[in-house]
Structure 1
Amino acid sequence: MIETEFRRPVVTVDIVMLTPCRGELCVALLPRPNEPFADQPALIGGYIHTDEDLSAESAVRRILKAKAGIGDIFFEQLQTFASATRDPRDWSVSIAYFALLPEGWLEDPEGPLLLRPATSPGQLPFDHNEIIAIALERLRNKGAYSTIPARLLPEVFTMTELLAIYQTVMGERLDQSAFRRKVRELDLLEEIEGEKRRTESARRPTTLYRLKRPMSVFDRRL
Structure 2
Amino acid sequence: MSIILTVDAVLLTLVQGELEVALFKRDAEPFKGLWALPGGYVHEDKDDHAGAAAARVLKRKAGVVSPYLEEYGTFSGPGRDPRGWSLTVVYYALVPPGVLGDTVQRFPVGRLPALPFDHAQIIAGVVARVRNKAAYSSLPAFLCGDQFTVPELHAVYEAVLAQPLNLPNFRRKLDDLGILEEVPGATKLGGRNRPAQLYRLKKQFRSALSVRERGL
Common fold by TM > 0.5: yes
Question: Is 1:33 aligned to 2:22, yes or no?
Answer: no
Cα distance between partner residues in 2 of 1:16 and 1:99:
6
Aligned pairs (5 A) from 1:96-175: 96-106=90-100, 108=101, 111-175=102-166
In the TM superposition, residue 184 of structure 1 has moved relative to its aligned partner by 1.8
Q: Secondary structure at the match of 1:116?
A: strand
Question: Is 1:217 aligned to 2:208, yes or no?
Answer: no
Structure 2 vs 1, CA of residues 21 and 161 (structure 1 numbering), >3 Å: closer, same or farther? same
Aligned to 2:77: 83
Structure 1 stretch 51-60 or stretch 8-17: which is displaced more? 51-60
Q: Secondary structure at the match of 2:158?
A: helix
1:24-69 deviations in Å (ceiling 9; x for gaps): 1100000001111101100000111122222111211221121112
Cα distance between partner residues in 1 of 2:197 and 2:135:
24
Q: Looking at secondary structure, tell me which structure has more helix per residue.
A: 2
Q: Which runs of 4+ in 1 moved over 6 A?
A: none
Cα distance between partner residues in 2 of 1:42 and 1:161:
31
* Aligned with residue 195 of structure 2, among 205, 208, 213: 205
In the TM superposition, residue 209 of structure 1 has moved relative to its aligned partner by 0.9
Structure 2 vs 1, CA of residues 40 and 105 (structure 1 numbering), >3 Å: closer, same or farther? same
* Rg comparison, structure with higher value: 1
Aligned-residue RMSD, C-alpha: 1.5
Whether the 8 Å CA contact 2:179–2:212 is kept in 1: the answer is no
Cα distance between partner residues in 2 of 1:70 and 1:218:
25
Question: Is 1:13 aligned to 2:7, yes or no?
Answer: yes
Q: Secondary structure at the match of 1:126?
A: coil
5+ residue gaps, structure 1 = 1-6
Q: Under a length normalisation based on structure 2, what TM-score does the superposition of the two structures give?
A: 0.92
* Aligned with residue 179 of structure 1, among 161, 170, 173: 170
5+ residue gaps, structure 2 = none
In the TM superposition, residue 152 of structure 1 has moved relative to its aligned partner by 0.9
Structure 1 stretch 46-55 or stretch 211-220: which is displaced more? 211-220
Aligned pairs (5 A) from 1:188-199: 188-199=179-190
1:109-134 deviations in Å (ceiling 9; x for gaps): xx221100012212211000000011
